[in-house]
Structure 1
Amino acid sequence: MFENFELRHIPALFTATVMTFGGMWSFFDARAAMLEFGLPDRIASTPAANAVMHINNARTTSFGICMYTLYFRNELVACDTILAILGAYAGLVDSYVVWKEGNPRKAAFRLVSSGLLSAVGFAGWTAGR
Structure 2
Amino acid sequence: MFEHFALRHIPPLLLASIWTVGGLMAWTHGPEEAILTYGLSQRIASSEAAWPLIRIEGSRVTTIGVAIWGIYLGGHLEAMDTLLACIGWMAIVDGVVCAKDGSPGSARMRATYQAVISVWGLLGMTSGKYI
TM-score, normalized by the shorter chain, greater than 0.5: yes
Other-structure match for 1:63: 64
Query: What does 1:26-41 correspond to in 2, within 5 Å?
Result: 26-28=26-28, 29-41=30-42
Equivalent runs, 1:19-30 vs 2, <5 Å: 19-28=19-28, 29-30=30-31
1:112 counterpart residue number: 112
Q: CA deviation at 1:35?
A: 0.4
The alpha-carbon deviation at position 102 of structure 1 amounts to 4.4
Q: Which amino acid aligns with 1:99?
A: A
SS in 1 for 2:105: helix
1:127 aligned to 2:127? yes
In the superposition, the TM-score normalised over structure 2's length comes to 0.93
Cα displacement string for residues 79-103 of structure 1 (whole angstroms, at most 9, x for unaligned residues): 11111111x1011101110100143
- Post-superposition CA distance 1:104-123 (Å, at most 9, x none): 41111111111111110000
The percentage of counterpart residues that share the same residue type is 38
Which amino acid in structure 2 is aligned with residue 33 of structure 1?
A
C-alpha separation between the residues in 2 aligned to 1:102 and 1:25? 18
Residues 1:78 and 2:57 are matched in the alignment: no
Q: Alignment length, in residue pairs? A: 128
Pairwise CA distance, 1:55: 0.9
Residue identity in the other structure for 2:68:
M
User: SS state of the match for residue 43, structure 2?
Assistant: helix
Unaligned runs of 5+ in 2: none
Distance 1:64 1:113 in 2: 15
1:43 aligns with 2:44: yes
* Aligned structure 1 segments of 4 or more residues deviating by more than 6 angstroms: none
Q: TM (normalized to structure 1)?
A: 0.94
Distance 1:27 1:83 in 2: 26
Distance in 1, Cα, partners of 2:57 & 2:35: 11
**Structure with the higher fraction of residues in helix conformation:** 1
d(CA) in 1 for partners of 2:79 and 2:14? 15
